[in-house]
């Protein structure tokens, strides 16, 4: 789910970006994305603060939920843009992602489906 | 055993974890042909580029590939995501739009069956009631496009259930020939398999657990087989002695061969993730099934 490629500081120095590949087996209408929580070195960033970009189109979490046409395909990783007062330092960082997706065919009490992964990634500059 | 009339297929779902990572669509399709299957099943939302509007060049490449490998499109998997719009149920119009979109795309790609995976409203997987009026409204389109709509009977659903009774009553009431059942052989699993590998996931935020489901006797299939139009030959693991400890293939094959059932057994590998595993396990399953039907 968490991609090595795409982990970098935002150009303006006001946060960082991380790419997620959809860990599910089919693409989704973006309405079914309940959100992603990103944690870096123990610092947690809430789903509502994270901007999304899929196939070059930017969405706020609210826009993902509202769109009638937007999709997250299996083979198109999403770029998550995370605001932070300072850029991340060059070197290793422990990056965790928790992604919540809403499945319609699973009983409600067993939803959402929550995917989680932690990886050690490198900031190069 | 009498001469089997069913045919062999593979669902590209089997390559989950490899598709787009270690295998391209071309690799997957070539693998299906190489292992000796003739039927190809896909999931629209997984395998069609730019779903639901693939470029013309992609469609051309699709047909060229089928021709090259001698494959016939069988079933196209779709979803009716009834929880798509958050806090409110899906309307009939929205469900009709989704079904029509997939029926048209499936027909464009040469498929005969569309399996809509329906949203559920109860713990025992009763489909959202929107399925019935929405499906009824798309029956004419299905007829025009030569498509049979077939919701799946899938673990933890069982054959003797309100869900199946409601589907059969729908066929009876409408008299349609464009609606049937898809039987997923996971229904007959004799024990649970817990898939290893892949990204960790959990169901829900609380302590709710999936249901305990009694073992469904394969003989229950006899009652509904006349309405079964497609089989997803779900399996989890074939061991090094070509035995399956989860799905009772001999009993299942005895029934469908004796009854002269003539659709596709479309293999759906849902075992552990691992590079090369799907391709190997699919071959084991086909060898197991072919050995059983020739030795009986």
B15 to chain A: nearest residue by CA? A25
* Inter-chain residue contact B199 with A1, CB threshold 8 Å: yes
Binned at pLDDT 50, 70 and 90, residue A38 comes out as very high
For chain B, count helices (H), then strands (E): 9, 10
* Inter-chain residue contact A25 with B119, CB threshold 8 Å: no
Quick check: B156 pLDDT over 80?
yes
* Alpha carbon separation from B55 to B52, B61, B66 (Å, rounded): 10, 10, 17
Binned at pLDDT 50, 70 and 90, residue B1 comes out as low
CB A94 within 8 A of CB A120: yes
Average pLDDT of chain B, as a whole number: 95
Interface of A with B in 42-81 (CB under 8 A): 65, 71, 73-75
Q: What is the mean pLDDT of residues B29-34?
A: 98
Tokens of B42: 């896909």
ipTM above 0.95, yes or no: no
Residue A99 C-alpha, separation from nearest chain B C-alpha, in angstroms: 9
Rounded to an integer, what is the distance from CA B265 to the centroid of its chain? Answer: 10
Residue B3 C-alpha, separation from nearest chain A C-alpha, in angstroms: 36
Mutate to test the interface with A, among B28, B46, B123 (most CBs of A within 10 A): B46
Tokens 């849902």 belong to: B270
- Which one of A23, A25, A106 has the shortest CB-CB distance to B13? A25
Residue A3 C-alpha, separation from nearest chain B C-alpha, in angstroms: 12
B155 to chain A: nearest residue by CA? A106
- Which one of B84, B200, B203 has the shortest CB-CB distance to A116? B200
Output the pTM of the full model. Answer: 0.95
Tokens 């690799």 belong to: B27
Q: What is the mean pLDDT of residues A69-93?
A: 97
DSSP state of B241: T
Q: What is the pLDDT of residues A62-75, one digit of tens each?
A: 999 999 999 999 99
Binned at pLDDT 50, 70 and 90, residue B206 comes out as confident
* Inter-chain residue contact B203 with A23, CB threshold 8 Å: no
DSSP letter for each residue of A11-41: TTSSEEEEEE---SSS-EEGGGEEEEEEEET
Other CB atoms within 10 Å distance of the CB of residue A13:
11
């Amino acid at each position: 789910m968490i991609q090595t490629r795409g982990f970098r500081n935002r150009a303006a120095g006001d946060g960082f970006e991380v790419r997620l590949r959809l860990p599910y087996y089919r693409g989704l209408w973006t309405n079914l994305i309940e959100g992603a929580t990103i944690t870096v070195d123990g610092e947690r960033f809430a789903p509502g603060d994270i901007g999304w970009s899929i196939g070059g189109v930017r969405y706020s979490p609210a826009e993902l939920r509202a769109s009638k046409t937007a999709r997250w395909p299996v083979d198109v990783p999403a770029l998550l843009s995370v605001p932070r007062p300072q850029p991340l330092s060059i070197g290793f960082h422990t990056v965790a992602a928790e992604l919540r997706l809403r499945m319609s065919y699973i009983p409600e009490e067993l939803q959402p489906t929550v995917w989680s992964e932690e990886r050690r990634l490198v900031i190069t500059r | 055993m009498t001469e089997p009339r069913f045919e062999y297929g593979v669902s590209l779902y089997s390559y989950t974890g490899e598709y787009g990572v270690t295998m391209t669509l071309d690799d997957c399709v070539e693998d299906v042909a190489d292992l000796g299957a003739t039927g190809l099943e896909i999931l629209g939302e997984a395998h069609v580029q730019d779903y639901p509007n693939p470029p013309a060049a992609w469609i051309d490449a699709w047909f060229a590939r089928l021709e090259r490998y001698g494959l016939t499109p069988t079933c196209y998997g779709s979803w009716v995501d009834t929880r798509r719009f958050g806090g409110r149920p899906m309307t009939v119009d929205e469900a009709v739009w989704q079904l029509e979109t997939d029926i048209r795309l499936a027909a464009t790609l040469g498929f005969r069956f569309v399996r809509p995976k329906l949203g559920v409203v109860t713990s025992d997987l009763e489909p959202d009631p929107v399925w019935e009026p929405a499906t009824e409204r798309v029956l004419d389109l299905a007829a025009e496009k030569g498509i049979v709509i077939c919701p799946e009977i899938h673990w933890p659903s069982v054959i003797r259930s309100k869900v199946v009774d409601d589907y059969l009553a729908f066929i009876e009431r409408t008299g349609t020939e464009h609606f049937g059942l898809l039987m997923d052989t996971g229904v007959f699993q004799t024990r649970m398999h817990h898939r290893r590998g892949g990204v960790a996931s959990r169901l829900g935020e609380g302590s709710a657990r999936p249901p305990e489901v009694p073992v469904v006797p394969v003989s229950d299939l006899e009652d509904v087989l006349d309405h079964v139009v497609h089989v997803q030959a779900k399996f989890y693991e074939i061991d090094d002695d070509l035995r399956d400890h989860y799905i009772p293939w001999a009993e299942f094959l005895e029934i469908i061969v004796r009854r002269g059932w003539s659709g596709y057994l479309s293999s759906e590998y849902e075992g552990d993730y691992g590079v090369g595993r799907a391709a190997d396990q699919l071959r084991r399953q086909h060898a197991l099934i072919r050995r059983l039907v020739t030795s009986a």
